[in-house]
Amino acid sequence: MQIHYVLSYSAIKLKLITISFSVILPKLLKMEITIIVAMASNRIIGKDGMMPWHIPEDLRLFKKTTMGYPMIMGRKTFESLPGLLPGRRHIVLSRNKDYQPRGGEYAPDMTSALQLCGQVEKAFLIGGADIFEQGFSVATSIILTLLEREVEGDVTLPNFSDDEFKEESRRHYPDGSEPFTVVTYRRSVTNICI
Ligand SMILES: NC(=O)c1ccc[n+]([C@@H]2O[C@H](COP(=O)([O-])OP(=O)(O)OC[C@H]3O[C@@H](n4cnc5c(N)ncnc54)[C@H](OP(=O)(O)O)[C@@H]3O)[C@@H](O)[C@H]2O)c1
């Protein structure tokens, strides 16, 4: 019985620490941290190190949304880019301390990456799956492009919790090269009071 209480207490404490970290870090840094991602209807986001689709209308939205703000990404996503995306800082995470992203800035972990952003209003977490998974605990919002078809691939978007992120808006784009919907989620504050 006592062990059960100790374990429950530890689990609650861990949850509180996680929640505190996720709620406090963006506040400390005073910035909006947004995950921006496009996903097929079967949760696929990547294949063979690349994006398995090309939707110019969604890329234009990505460019418009992220322009002028720092982008944080994993080493694999950085290496998959056709080149540096103009007008935005590329902050690249790698556990290899000697890694030097050409034209980008190296960060050894997520906290350093967020600190590197400095005094900015917003920063974007642009992938891939590794970064999204870690990013769910610090993001204040998510911008999710949903394709209407299944796609073959080898990288999926990890699940995020409906309790943590509430849908804020949804817009359908029916007229481009293929239809898609952009859903925006905002971190819910209700889960702080447990
Ligand atoms: N559909 C979309 O919106 C979208 C967006 C972006 C990417 N993608 C796709 O996703 C795929 C890549 O995703 P991925 O998950 O395989 O790789 P990734 O997240 O881009 O990069 C993973 C790498 O980042 C580094 N890393 C991750 N967490 C770290 C941490 N806490 N501290 C230090 N370094 C860390 C490690 O680099 P080292 O190995 O160097 O240590 C790790 O191997 C590609 O297919 C890409 O095209 C899709």
What pLDDT shows up at residue 94? 98
What pLDDT shows up at residue 29? 65
Assess whether the C-beta atom of 45 lies below 6 angstroms from ligand 1: yes
Domain ranges of the chain: 2-192
Which top CATH class is 2-192? alpha beta
127 CA to middle of ligand 1, Å? 6
181 CA to middle of ligand 1, Å? 24
Distance in Å from the first CA to the final CA of the chain: 23
What pLDDT shows up at residue 30? 80
Q: Whose CA is nearest to atom 36 of ligand 1?
A: 94
What pLDDT shows up at residue 146? 98
Rg (CA), the chain: 18
Residues of the chain where predicted confidence (pLDDT) is lower than 70: 1-29, 189-194
Strands 180-187 and 71-74: unpaired
46 CA to middle of ligand 1, Å? 10
DSSP 134-168: HHTTT-SEEEEEEESS----SEEPPP--TTTEEEE
5 CA to middle of ligand 1, Å? 38
**Which phi and psi (to 5°) does residue 129 adopt?**
-55, -40
- The minimum-distance atom of ligand 1 relative to the CA of 153 is 45
Which residues lie closer than 8 Å to 31 by C-beta, 6 or more apart? 117, 120, 121, 122, 123
pLDDT, one tens digit per residue, over 119-171 is 999 999 999 999 999 999 999 999 999 999 999 999 999 999 989 999 999 99
